[in-house]
Structure 1
Amino acid sequence: MLLPPLRGHSSEYIDKAIRDNYKGKYTIVMGDLNAKVGQRKAGEGKTMGSFGVGARSRRGDMLIEFAEEQKLVITNTYFKKDKTRYWTWESPNEATRNQIDFIVSSQRGIVKNCEVIAKVCITSDHRLVRAKICINTILARLEFINNKKKESINIMKLKERKDEFQLKLKNRFACLDVEDIDLDTRCDKLTTVMLEEAASLASTKKSENTKLEEDKTIEALNLRRKDLRKKEIKTRAEKIEYAEMVKTVRKKRRQRTRKRKYDIILQTLKSGRVPNAARKQDSNKSRICQLRHEDGTLTSDRSQILEICAKFYQDLYSSTKPETDTPKCKANSKKKDELPSVLQKEVTHAIAQMKDNKAPGIFL
């Protein structure tokens, strides 16, 4: 979030500017907020740390209230520093020092450090405040992709309920006000309305009523696992719980898949549709759809494909060539080359390469 300088404006204007522009997954609000938050009080553990300084002012109460409402944290108060590394503003007569410059973040876990830079000469009565921010980009990208996934719609089911779909769209479009907006926003609104109505009539997503008990159990465990994974800083107990949760979710998913396969096979055996069941179970395996005969013609017939494969491997492993005697090497047909004698300089070089105070070995 980036805002223009707000110096000279009223507190109502500043509050409205921050609230109107507050959005996004990672939000950082920083600058001269002209507020003294002081020490942490009871019930403010989610908003500020235990390293606040000074007494709280009226604007400090406003900042704490805003942070609690928007679920923000004041990062300056979470890291223990020397007493001289807290204050950010000094009066002209050098008699008063306060902490009024803050870095406020939407997520505590991404801020690894926050400190005041003292040894920087700037023409200001404020000191620089620096924060170290680390973001797990892989995890953030996965969450972004999962949030952007569109809900799949059953087209055939939607065609069957075409009249109802058109009636719903007509009613929604009649209540939609798109007169005083630009073309792109109007297009986005119309698209959203059509997708919402299509999903309400022909969504492929399972409803809560059709979910089995095992599905609900796995979903609850998976939600807990995701909550633990999102935490940037985990305790030892949480790390152990996360590892056990991963194993439990995987085990229950395997059991559910095995049970569903068993139910499908049992159902198909009762109905006499064994080939269809086998085809469903092997849907993830690649199959040979076509093969070419020796004359170059293609065939997709299953029996002919099996015959071609059988003939290929039969010709591959059955050799028709007569065995030939391989000539044996005569022993001692050539004289072995005599090794040259060891030179004195080679011995000297080997001794020089040896380490001091080490055993020479069994060969020396």
Structure 2
Amino acid sequence: TNPNCLNINLNNSTRNPALQGYVGVYVGPTTHYTKTPVTNLQEASEQNGRRWTRPRNPNLSDHDLRIRNKQLRFGTWNVRTLASPGASEVLSNELERYNMDLVALQEVRWPHNGKESTENYQIYYSGNAEGKYQKGVGFAVKRQIDSAVTSFEAVNERICIIRLKGRFKNISVICMYAPIEDAESEDKDEFYEELEEIWNRLPNYDVKILMGDANAKVGREMTWRNIAGKESLHEYTNDNGTRLLSLAVAGDLRVVSTTFPRKNIHKETWNSPNGITKNQIDHVLIDNRHKKNIINVRSIRGAECGSDHNLVLIKIKQSLATEKKNNSNQLPNINLENIKDPIKASRYRELLSTKFEQNAEAEEMDLERKWSRLKNTIQDCARDICGEKEKRRRTNPWFDRECSEEVERRKTMRQKWLETNHDEDRRVYNNQNKATVKLLRQKKRRWLNGLITRAEEDRTRNNSRDFYRTLRFFSKEYKPKAYGVKDKDGHLIMQQKEGLERWKEYFEGLLNGEVRERQEPTIKYQNVQPRIEIPSIEEVEKAINELKNNKAPGEDGINSEILKAGRDIIVKQVHELIVEVWEKKIIPHEWKEAIVIPLHKKGDKQECSNYRGISLLNNTYKVFSKILLKRLEAYTQSIIEEHQSGFIKGRSTTDQIFIVKESIAKYWEFDRECYLLFVDFSKAYDSLYREELWLKLEKFGIPEELIDLIKISIVDSKCKVKVNGETSETFLVNTGVRQGDGISPILFNIAIEEALEKVNKENRGIHIGKKINVLAF
């Protein structure tokens, strides 16, 4: 009867499953739940003598359940090197076997800093700034939690920092690789001073963790009992240990790697080459405020990657705020190799014909629905006949089953040596380790030789595309992948969602120039309008055949090879659609959208301004655009003067370059001074004012119907940015002509033609020499 009491109808089939088996009891301002045997499921379980447990959600993996239960598996591992062939694959497989979420890595030995991908992990690394393959630290982050990475700072070859977004508190982790015990005191002082400075500038409210190869023995002396535990492998502290503990005192840290009682074999982190000396020199420290979050630390002797260090496992009670990748907007990735097979191409056309005949009986529909039906039919038929490409594994292609078996043999030999500690088993393991490294090198060398042989065969067969692809593979310099992107203020953004928003913001500002107020024209240049013929089916067929192969598709996901393989069946359907567009002066909304892919040009890879965007348009729209271009070219031949050679049929920019070189040579021959002024338009296509472009087209005698068709292809155009497989929201482009559109270059030529004529003919400006020639590219 108490109005504050929470009442739950346990017999209601629609009740909240989270409350099943509980009844609300009022005990004050808060409602508590008391377990009562009221459900049939629970009663049946108890009658059978089994404890009742809540059913598991089948949609959650083991990893998802563990993350939800607030338990993460961190670790630290000195891997000795990742620069040898196959080392990163072996590391990834071992970390996956132990279900590690994040592991601090030492002695990575990769130069510079960047990000590399393996099948299961993303590896952030900080190496030698001079390009030497020595030292180096980093983090291996499981792909499922990579979206929680908010920042990564590559400090130097001994220190790096990563920050993870938690549900309640963020986690900052420092990876360290300290100088050895016999190093110079100056080097040690410099390292620990920098480490202390980095620790002090971490956010105070974060869960702060320091882990790595400290090369330090921490003893069991009572002096340090408030900082370190009594479960250390060593009795006395060495010099490096004293320095580490002094850092812990200054930064209010706790050495949790010496806290948990374990067998000595689970405390050892390093084994000497002869197997006699075993030390605990890899350590884990956490700020005292969060020391209870660490629930376990131990060495994993079974993990093997050719290193003399053991993997150290840290179980931490925390949860991360990860983002689930949205695959709903993924375009179909058709296997285009199958469309080259004449038999499959014939089956593809038969299926298309059947589908279109069925659709012909459907009711009349508007243009948008017609386009949607055409697109879906082509996609479905291509997918059914050709299938989709298999996702490329992020492993080296030469790392095959034989390599995996050899690595497993090495692991078995090492495990046997650790169990027996016999000299003979140690020698067997060392020999097996050498054999494994030798096999991996041979496999990689054999694969590279195969690439060279294949390139030579491509050259003799005049297969220039594959030949130059292989040539670029061998000739290009190694460039590490960038991690994150910087915002306008220079702050690094690591999360995918915020990064996409930054890319959208950048390209939206880049593609949208200053918008002028629309002014009604005061002059009408034409009275009689010539009739523009509707495109013929032959024009559509020619335009489809002119599409370039091996190009990425646009928003429709339809490759040019798929359109060409449909032959007259697709030609007929596309022709009907284009005729309706031509007559109604409207185009499908998807034709107005472009996908922008950022490509790095130069400089810092985290700066958006160092990228140029490549726009991907729908191939079906390109067919319409090619027809429009042919109609426009018939009028521009008499408009564009000879000084313009860019994008003009029968002319080439190399002709202009030749003229410049010849002019310089003649001036040099007669000992005369030559002055050249080069003008490069910034954001040329994006800086055009559309209203003035329409006036220019009308002034030069372009028919109004053709201008209307150009307008519908440009006005209300939209873009979206695609980065790392994720696509941003669309944004409107209000100025300029479309990037990647076939008619854009000739429209730009028309827009600047009048200005070039004035510069070339009028006697204005400062004269240098006898004559000024204008050469437009």
Q: Larger relative contact order (C-alpha < 8 A, sep ≥ 6)?
A: 2
More helix per residue: 1
Shorter-chain TM-score: what band? 0.3 to 0.5
| Greater Rg over alpha carbons, structure | 1
TM-score w.r.t. structure 2 length? Answer: 0.17
